[in-house]
A = this chain, B = another copy of it.
Amino acid sequence: MMGLAATSTYRAVRGDTDFLSEPLTPEDQTVQSMPDVSPTKWHRAHTTWFFETFLLKPSLPGYVECHPAYGYLFNSYYEAVGARHPRHERGLVSRPGAAEIGVYREHVDGAMAELLPHADVDGSLRDLIELGLHHEQQHQELLVMDAKHVLGSNPMRPAYFDESPPHGPEAAQGFQAIGGGVVSIGADGTAFCFDNERPGHEVFLQPYAVAETLVTCDDWCAFMADGGYQRPDLWMSEGWATASAAGWEAPLYWRRDGDRWLVYSLHGERDVRGNEPVCHVSWFEADAYARWAGARLPTEAEWETAAPQPPAPEPLDRGRLHPGTNPAADPGGWYGQVWQWTASSYSPYPGFRTAPGAVGEYNGKFMVNQQVLRGSCCATPSGHARRTYRNFFPASARWAFSGVRLAAASEQV
């Protein structure tokens, strides 16, 4: 990424955030519907804060910060940067409003326009800008997930945007057998990746098989009809306790209406479509489903070994923010529909090192009590997907676009 390229990439990524925010009213952008959710205007501000804090303040001489309180309000979790506003109180802050956040974004974008050309000649600057843009893309997905949770908490279930026409036909179902042995996973080399994908390293795999398609809503309905949510033998002990306490009986955003199930999507509430990938299930549910199906979840090494490279990027489409049928370029639905829960807990790779300074807090400090998801989803900016990408959420989380791909011992299929 260099010179003009850096500038145009910067503009494109920042523009995508505005594009995704546009259908959301100032009121929509203010609400925090649960502690894990952040308001839209906070995401818009926090991604801006990242550039202001890690690029402009240290590297642009004479830069004047937009507002003295924003450093406190829009730091997410960087302890080394200083005190910050409590996460669960983000929804209390009505001011600055959505329009003022727009001013903040313009202020920072103007200053960045001065700084970006220097990335040509300064590699560490270039790396930080690249990190900032990938960081913003992560938050684009979070912004969509969180806005869906806000709108989905409204008893009127308003739509975010109209739906786009579907992709093509689905892939054939089946399992693909893969031989074991020592394989390499993770990232080396110079292409961008997050710190948690490094270093590349060897692992030993038993032979296994992995499903060629994602678990569908029809599959899930069969699980439900067979008492999947009523049989403790299918569940982890903590999963059963969680599901019982919360009264789970279907994926998040499903609602029973007489004999049928409705699903709330960002395009409004409508009937569940049987051939779509199931979405918004927790790891606990995915694990129980796999046990019921006589299979298991793949480990992240198994997933990465089996997965193809992601297809070429496509432009953002606000009408396709729900998992659907797969494009011809990815008939197995490895990317762009739902994140796929793995059997692996989130741990450092052998030899993992954090970056020095505050950006070193990026990933490492979350490496316990989380499960890894692989692939990408309908809300992931499509150029952001990588075969080595490691997403992670607690086993109980359901508000990400999370689904299921099965695995099994190779002799089972």
List the interface of chain A (C-beta within 8 A of B).
25-31, 33, 41, 69, 72-73, 77, 79-80, 85, 89, 91-95, 97-98, 150-151, 153-156, 158, 182, 201-204, 206, 232-233, 235-240, 283-284, 287, 343-345, 347-348, 350-351, 361, 365-369, 371, 395, 409
Q: Smallest distance from the beta carbon of A325 to chain B beta carbons, Å?
A: 30
Partner of A345, one of B69, B73, B287, B345: B345
Assembly CA distance A25 to B95 (angstroms)? 9
Give the residues in chain B near A201, CB-CB below 8 Å. Answer: 206
Assembly CA distance A94 to B155 (angstroms)? 11
Closest 6 CB pairs of A and B: A345-B345, A27-B94, A204-B204, A79-B232, A28-B94, A237-B365
Give the residues in chain B near A72, CB-CB below 8 Å. Answer: 155
Give the residues in chain B near A284, CB-CB below 8 Å. Answer: 368
Most chain B beta carbons < 10 A, residue from A85, A93, A347, A366: A93
Give the residues in chain B near A69, CB-CB below 8 Å. Answer: 155-156
Assembly CA distance A201 to B204 (angstroms)? 10
A-B contact pairs, 7 of them (CB 8 A): A27-B98, A73-B155, A73-B156, A95-B158, A206-B351, A236-B367, A351-B409
Partner of A80, one of B30, B94, B95, B233: B233
Closest to A40 in B: B94
Assembly CA distance A395 to B369 (angstroms)? 8
Q: Smallest distance from the beta carbon of A75 to chain B beta carbons, Å?
A: 12
Closest to A371 in B: B368
Partner of A343, one of B202, B347, B369: B347
Assembly CA distance A343 to B366 (angstroms)? 13
Say whether, besides A95-B25, A202-B204, A366 and B150 are in contact (CB < 8 Å). no
Q: Smallest distance from the beta carbon of A212 to chain B beta carbons, Å?
A: 21
Assembly CA distance A236 to B201 (angstroms)? 23
Known: A28-B97, A92-B150, A95-B151. 6 other contacts (CB 8 A): A27-B97, A31-B91, A31-B93, A80-B233, A283-B368, A344-B347
Give the residues in chain B near A80, CB-CB below 8 Å. Answer: 233
Give the residues in chain B near A94, CB-CB below 8 Å. Answer: 25, 27-28, 30-31, 150-151, 154
Give the residues in chain B near A182, CB-CB below 8 Å. Answer: 182, 204
Give the residues in chain B near A343, CB-CB below 8 Å. Answer: 347-348
Most chain B beta carbons < 10 A, residue from A28, A29, A41, A345: A345
Closest to A360 in B: B233
Give the residues in chain B near A361, CB-CB below 8 Å. Answer: 233
Assembly CA distance A69 to B155 (angstroms)? 8
Give the residues in chain B near A240, CB-CB below 8 Å. Answer: 79, 365
Assembly CA distance A154 to B345 (angstroms)? 38
